[in-house]
Chain A
Amino acid sequence: MSLPVRVGTLLVAFLAVVGGVIFVVIHFLLAGPPTVDYSSGVAPGQAVNLMMQEDPQNTVSNHPDWVSYFIKDPKTGAWVHTTLFSVPANTRINVTILGYDGCTPLRNPFWGKVTGTIGGTEDVNGKPVKVINTWDGCNVGHTFSIPGIGLNVPMASPTTVKANNELCGTSPCTSGPHQTMTFSFMSPKTTGDFFWQCRVPCGGGFLYGFGGPMQTIGFMTGEMEVVS
């Protein structure tokens, strides 16, 4: 091959490689669920009202059978399929979580105790609760835990047979048996990313139940971004 042909082929190959790398980085490596913004427009001293729900499945994703959290966008009121949200630092966060999913016992019953909230309790349908015994009944579906700030809140589930057989079928859920949990905590004073997770191993079909949705951002684990 002559020199111009060789140089031309080289140039094309180089551009293809660079293009490929950029494509992979943007499409696979940097892609992820969106972050719901609860931090902008919050006056100092004002509290933030965070609204979430956890569903028995996620029919709007490519894993329809995976359990999943949804977060409500404060501006549009729509339920977003994500587990990433941002809050301002050193602010009171009032959290409401709708628990649509059925019950699964905790692997370590220690996580049935509410810790890290203001007052040390959570309200389940308005009644304050400190500890839930998940090994003696059908009462907890998931937890909402932020290990970095010592927050752990079990999510109650529908408790009767009838309710557990009639769980909501399409996500995000708008109707169906559910429990409502409310609690509050103070966001940390320093900025940074704090991960949160669920402690109930309900990754169906994965060994010990901790695979799949439990380890995938956007389903049962995510991050709380604390911004100034």
Chain B
Amino acid sequence: MTRAQFQYSKKVLKHFRNPHNLGKINDPSGIGEVGNMVCGDVMKLYIKVKNNIITEIKFETYGCAAAIATSSVITDLVKGKTIDEAIKMTNKDVIDSLDGLPPVKIHCSLLSVDALSEAIYDYLFKEKKEIPKEVVSRHQRLIVHSS
């Protein structure tokens, strides 16, 4: 079924074929893992934080072209940003950077934002830093969702 392919933008396919920041970070400051095998998308995002700045970010994703492309593009968007800036990232930013997504794939962009938020939560939690409300509530929603 190549129907989906006709609906993907060139940017999505570009990121899918040559994803940026693929792989894992060995001693990450935080890890975010979201999605599940039943729905067919699992994203794992690793961040390295220095002086409140995300200096390094990598991902591993099991999923469709949109899942891989959204993972790839969010690493581009976030790299070099402060934690506060990264928290403000929305799925609209991800979709816009990919020149749009087919409607049925919008959930992939949400997944990438969730993965980032979880990585930040993991980092702040481990560092015993104050965790902003929106990050906590997202974390709680994801836990409820995955159990």
Binding between chains A and B: no
